[in-house]
Amino acid sequence: GGAAMAAVRDVEIDPEGTFKYILVRLQRPGGGEQRDVVRGTKAAEFHNHIFEKVNPEMQKLGYECKCLGGGKIDHNSKDKKIRVFGLSTGYGKADHSVTVEILKKVYTDYEITWSDDKK
């Protein structure tokens, strides 16, 4: 139960650069346990590419996935800054404030901000 969900990392994003990200809700079928995770990578040309990778991985672990929206992340590891902004055309805009809270769990010594700016 909880162990498998705990094994899923809160955040998997590229260590540097600007890239697309999505906010994904994981849920056990039939309700109950759920949590939101952040996934982002430069390798994804479109937001759905990220979801298409995450979804089968999570299904194997017994979760249903729902994309709550997307945007972009600008990750500056040198200055320890992350900026969350923009939106996904396909999935709509994620709640960036939620994304920031999740990022803060992992990047505890970073300055993390968000805005509705497109760039």
Q: Which residues are annotated as a binding site?
A: 20
So what's the pLDDT on residue 39? 98
So what's the pLDDT on residue 32? 78
So what's the pLDDT on residue 68? 98
Q: Superfamily assignment of 11-115 in CATH?
A: Janus/Ocnus (3.50.20.20)
pTM greater than 0.85 (yes/no) = yes
How do the pLDDT tens digits run along the chain, 119 residues long?
566 667 899 999 999 999 999 999 999 888 778 999 999 999 999 999 999 999 999 999 899 999 999 999 999 999 999 999 999 999 999 999 999 999 999 999 999 999 999 88
Is residue 84 a contact partner of residue 72, using CB atoms and an 8 Å limit? yes
Question: Catalytic site residue 47?
Answer: yes
Structure tokens at 88: 């996904």
Q: Any idea where the domains of the chain sit in the sequence? A: 11-115
Is residue 18 a contact partner of residue 32, using CB atoms and an 8 Å limit? no
